[in-house]
Each structure stands twice: as C-alpha cells, then as structure tokens.
Amino acid sequence: MCGIFAVIGSREVSSLLIDGLRKLEYRGYDSAGIATIDNLNNDQNGQLNVTKSKGKLINLSSLIKKKPQKGHVGIAHTRWATHGKPNERNAHPHLDSSGQFAVVQNGIIENYRELSKRLKVKGIKLTTETDTEIIPHLIGLEIEESLANGLSPNEQTLLLAVQKVLAVLEGTYAIAVIWSRTPNALVVAREQAPLVLGFGEGEFFCASDTPALVGLTRTFLPLRDHEIALLTPLGIELYDDDGNRQHRAPSLLKGMELFADKRNFRHFMLKEIYEQPETAQLWIDRFLPVELPSHNPVAFPISKSILEQIEQIQILACGTSRHAGMVGGHLLEQFAGVPTKVYFASEFRYAPPPLSPNTLTIGVSQSGETADTLAALRMEKERRDSTKDANFSFHHLGITNRVDSSFGRELDNVIDIGSGIEIGVAATKTFLGQMLSFYGLTLQFASLRQKRSPQEILDLSNDLRLIPKQLSDLIKKHDSLSKDLAHLFVETKDVIFLGRGINYPIALEGALKLKEISYIHAQGYPAGELKHGPIALLDQHVPVVSLAVPGVVYEKVLSNSQEAKARDARLIGVSISGPESEMFDELFTIPKVSEWVSPLLTVVPLQLFSYHIAAHKGLDVDQPRNLAKCVTVE
C-alpha cells in the first residue's frame, strides 16, 4: 500500500508525477503529495517545493493545476495511512527541519520510536505522526557531518548519507529521496517493499509498481531487497547494501494494452466482472488444451517429480485469495484426495502447525506483494530449511496475477493466473483466475495419485471448458437483474450469506464483496451453522443470500434456507430454476452444472449484486474507503 513515483530528466515533471500517481492510486488514496526541486539559477542550489493534499488525488492535481510546481526531478506519493491520521500534515513527502531533504516512503519503519528519541536528543522536533519523518532528519544529520568532514554537496554524498541511514532502519519499506542541493540526483532504495526502476529516453523513473511506467517506458528493472539506486539525467547506478555496483539486464513490460482503460464501463469493477469469460478462456487455452492426455491433464510448469513426493498441502493467503484457497482446499481433498489445510497467512506466521513431512506450501496472492502472505512463506521456508531433513524440505508454489512481483522473484514455482491487470480494489477476475488454478492443480494431483478415473478427469476438464460461455451468459443476465434489485437493499444494514461444501467459501466471498464496497455489514456462514447462533439475527430487515446448488448438500441448503424464510428474512437464492426455487423471494438462476465447477459461476451474481448496491448508493466502488489494492504492510 502507498504508491511511490519519482522522475528525473530534462523536462518539467510535476504533471508526470500526477499522472504516475493516478496509475498507482489503487495502492492508497487517503492523501497525496509531490516534491520537486526548482533549479532556479541552474547552479547546484535548487529550491525544494512541496504540495500535499488530503483525500483523493484529484485534490492534489487541482492544486498543482492552479499553482504549477517547477522542476526536472521530483518524488510523489499516494498514501494509505498506517501511522497517523490521513491528513495533509501526515501526507508525504516529508522534509527535514532545514527543508532541503524530501522523502517518500511505502511500508513501515518499525524502530521509528527509538530513532525519534535519538533525534529529540539532538534537538530535532518531529512535526507529524508518521514513521517516515525521521528519515529526512536522519539524512540531514548524516549530510551535515559529511559536509563538515569536507565532502562536497554532490550526488555521491547524498547516496552515501542515504546508505548510512538505511543501515539503521528496521522494517519493510521502499523510499525515494531528493536534496535541494543536488537537483540532478534522485536516490531510491528498497527493503521488502516493491520498487521498480524505469529506463526512458533521457529520463529515468522509479515506481511502486509497473503500471505507473505505462506510456513512459517499457524497459524496467525491479529493485531487489537491500538495493539502493542513484538516478541522474544520465542514467542509473545500482548498488547492493555493501556498496558493490550491480549490473542486471532490465526486462520489457508486457500486456500494457490491458492497462487501466474503463472502456464504456462506469467502474473498473464492472469492467473486470465482464472480463471474466475472457480470463477463463485464456486460462483454458493456456493450461487445459484438449490435446493433453488424462495422465497429464494440465500444462502447468511444475515438475512432476515434486508433485509425486507430496502427501499434504497447506495454503497461505489473505482475504479473497484465501477464499480461492478454500475452494482449492475442498477440491484437493474431495476430488484429488490430498489432505489440505487453508490458513490465514497473518495467523500462520505466529501460530504455525507442527512441521509435517512432504508438504507442499501454496501461497496465493493476486498482487504477489501482500506482506502477511510473503512473511508467512518466508517463515515457512526458514523453519523447513533449518531442519536439514529432506522429508521436511520447503516444496512451494505461488499462485499470482503478477509474476513480476515479490512472489515471482522469491518463489521457484509460480502459476501465472494471467487475468490481466485488475484496478478495482475489490478482486473479481483475479479470484476467478486463482480458483481456476486450483482446478488445474486438482486435476494434476487426481491423475497423478490415480484418485480419479480417466473419465472423471475428462469430465471435469470438459466442464471447465464450458465455463467461459456460461460465465458470459450469466453476466449478461444477472447484471440487469442485480441492477433492478439494488434499490431494495440501499437501507439494509446486515446480510447473511449461506453456503455449504464447495460453495461455503463463495458465501464468505459474497459477504466480503458486499461489505468492502457497499459498507453493509455482511457475514458468510456454512448454512448448517445458521441454527447455532446467527438465526437469532434474522427478521424482515436481514436478507439472507443462499447458495443452493444441486449436489451433495443441495437438500440441506434448501432446508436451511427454509429456516431463514420462516423467520421472515427476505430470501435471495443463487440456484437452478425449478419447483424448489419457488421459496426464494429473488432468484439468481445458474445453469445446471456439476457441483465441482459451480463456485466459478455462483460467485458472479454475488459480485454483481454487491457492485450494483454500492453503485446505487453512489459509493466509490473502485476505491472503497480504508482499503488498498496491494497490502504491503503486516
């Protein structure tokens, strides 16, 4: 969370900075700011100018429009508050007391309290509540000492000072720094928070994520942990934390055409819901081509020899990605017969289960940058590596939409779900891509362990191949239905979502989607649990959404739904149409499909239902309050 963008070159940068932030706004949007150096007399004594604003980027951009800010170098930040309220004072960039150094930071400086005490001793008074403000002050002190020792005020002196400050910082962060006395220098560094360098023509960039580079350059290089870079109008120098110069070939951005264009949709979320048939088709074309034999049904880039050793699986993820993991867990156990546990990554890290032998650890994250998931994976690697027992080796796999992320760099085996960039903060098409990847793994394990007959493998594969068309029909049908129903729920305060078996995670996902974008309290339950407590909440003001899909638990879910209806709850069904569905006050019909593939379809009406309620309430669907697309703090 938080987006950093920085530029150095030969043209005015303030509008570039605002454009860059616009492409990163999904990372945080409670305040924003830029700092540039106006090199007034073309000597080495520029003036640092800063503009900050509370709220959305639009506020900052109108300030800059009214009062343009000069400079050929600048840093910019869009914030998701961790330390200190989201207000103008706490917005980045932060300055030292002399107003010469400006810093933007994404992440958390864990030892900032201790470091601020050191600053206090030196008579420095902090003016914000953030953990970031200590950094420009510390850099200022280092520079003061360097200048006193005879060093010149040049970019190498700045680089050295930042290196010294990094050595005392603890936490996970990425920073960008400028100094008014070096208008031809920009220093950036990373410690477990994402940062990429961009190589333009006569100008160089740095950003928290590649979308910010679109339209400026296709050539980029992700920084690695502990690396620091000096950007000047002439090029980029990259160093490791021992000061050794690093040389790596940059990569080329791919799929930029998919970037942030709403087309004719009112919101990115709706566009991304509509893109799901394409997501599914691309996935099927890539991983499930018809010509593959039943003993090797999926074209995943994972070595068979690894999978053969696996006796159990643990899945680590957060939020929507964990719900995809739960669908995966059900499939892996029930279809492929592999014992599987799904964990909240944030809990796993501090309460891991005892080590189990021959275990595959799967991390799931659309962004590939979620701090909790990365930390849990790193912890698991560390404790398994330290046993030195081959039975406990760290077999691992990542499922992500961003192979150019920390997931892609840190994990040896990664399934790229290939959903295309997702801008809406509420995950939709990436959830579908994650679930599909679990179907792929399930087919692979089921055939490898001969848990299912070739015919069963073929049936599931063929059912998956029908999904794109079914999705497309469902979206068309339920978009207008949910739009028509939305006004009925505008005043609703609580909604209960019920599902069982493979559709229980979809009940959780439906509730999460509704609460995060419409701010209506919603709870997902396994339908059988209703009578063990939540039923006490029900009356005519609490609607119940029930996922009733023919299969193992169909009759059970129908009776659980009847229990809700008997308490006067308005009952909304996601079910097939037939005599049983008459009990529902509203019905989102789904086609008769095998229960195994049903989650790929049942989630769609729930996404649309949440979307239309939020849109009807006039809420900011794509950037809901307090949330960010990429959660890079624990």
User: What are the residues binding ligand F6R (CB under 6 A)?
Assistant: 318-321, 365-367, 370, 373, 426-427, 512, 516, 631
Residue whose C-alpha is closest to residue 73's, from 111, 16, 130: 16
- Give the shortest CB-272-to-ligand F6R separation in angstroms: 11
d(CA 295, CA 386): 35
- Give the shortest CB-195-to-ligand F6R separation in angstroms: 17
How far is the CA of 420 from the CAs of 182, 255, 259, 402, in angstroms?
39, 8, 8, 9
Residue with tokens 């059988």: 528
d(CA 606, CA 469): 18
Q: Looking at beta carbons only, is 460 or 631 nearer to ligand F6R?
A: 631
2 is catalytic: yes
- Give the shortest CB-419-to-ligand F6R separation in angstroms: 11
629 is catalytic: yes
- Residues paired with residue 399 on neighbouring β-strands, in sequence order: 364, 415
Q: Which of 2, 206, 318, 630 is catalytic?
A: 2
Q: How many CB atoms lie within 10 A of CB 447?
A: 21
Q: How many CB atoms lie within 10 A of CB 150?
A: 6
Q: Within 13 Å of residue 176, how many CA atoms lie on the same side as its CB? A: 33
- Give the shortest CB-365-to-ligand F6R separation in angstroms: 3
Return the DSSP state at 602: H
Q: Looking at beta carbons only, is 217 or 632 nearer to ligand F6R?
A: 632
**134 Cβ neighbours under 8 A, 6+ residues apart:** 109, 112, 115, 116, 119, 126
How far is the CA of 190 from the CAs of 24, 100, 169, 209, 485, in angstroms?
17, 22, 11, 13, 47
Q: Looking at beta carbons only, is 6 or 426 nearer to ligand F6R?
A: 426
Q: Looking at beta carbons only, is 112 or 611 nearer to ligand F6R?
A: 611
Q: Looking at beta carbons only, is 221 or 426 nearer to ligand F6R?
A: 426
- In this chain, which residue has its C-beta nearest to ligand F6R? 319
Q: Looking at beta carbons only, is 116 or 610 nearer to ligand F6R?
A: 610
Tell me the residue type at 486.
A
- Give the shortest CB-426-to-ligand F6R separation in angstroms: 4
Q: Which two tokens stand for residue 220?
A: 């980029």
**246 Cβ neighbours under 8 A, 6+ residues apart:** 227, 238, 239, 240
**167 Cβ neighbours under 8 A, 6+ residues apart:** 241
Quick check: 270 and 475 in contact, CB under 8 A? no
Residue whose C-alpha is closest to residue 349's, from 325, 326, 372, 382: 372
Please report the DSSP string for 383-404 in residue order.
Answer: HHHTT--GGG--EEEEEES-TT
Quick check: 546 and 571 in contact, CB under 8 A? yes
- Give the shortest CB-482-to-ligand F6R separation in angstroms: 17
Q: Looking at beta carbons only, is 115 or 411 nearer to ligand F6R?
A: 411
Please report the DSSP string for 519-579 in residue order.
Answer: --EEEEEEGGGGGGTGGGG-STTS-EEEEE-SSTTHHHHHHHHHHHHTTT--EEEEE--SG
- Give the shortest CB-610-to-ligand F6R separation in angstroms: 10
Quick check: 73 and 13 in contact, CB under 8 A? yes
Quick check: 359 and 330 in contact, CB under 8 A? no
Q: Looking at beta carbons only, is 314 or 367 nearer to ligand F6R?
A: 367
d(CA 350, CA 352): 6
Q: Looking at beta carbons only, is 19 or 622 nearer to ligand F6R?
A: 622
3-class SS at 499? strand
d(CA 88, CA 199): 32
Q: Looking at beta carbons only, is 288 or 621 nearer to ligand F6R?
A: 621
Q: Which of 52, 271, 429, 629 is catalytic?
A: 629
- Give the shortest CB-319-to-ligand F6R separation in angstroms: 2
Q: Do the strands 204-207 and 228-232 form a parallel or antiparallel pair, or are they unpaired? A: unpaired
Alpha-carbon dihedral angle through residues 84, 85, 91, 94, given to the nearest 10 degrees: -20
What are the catalytic residues? 2, 629
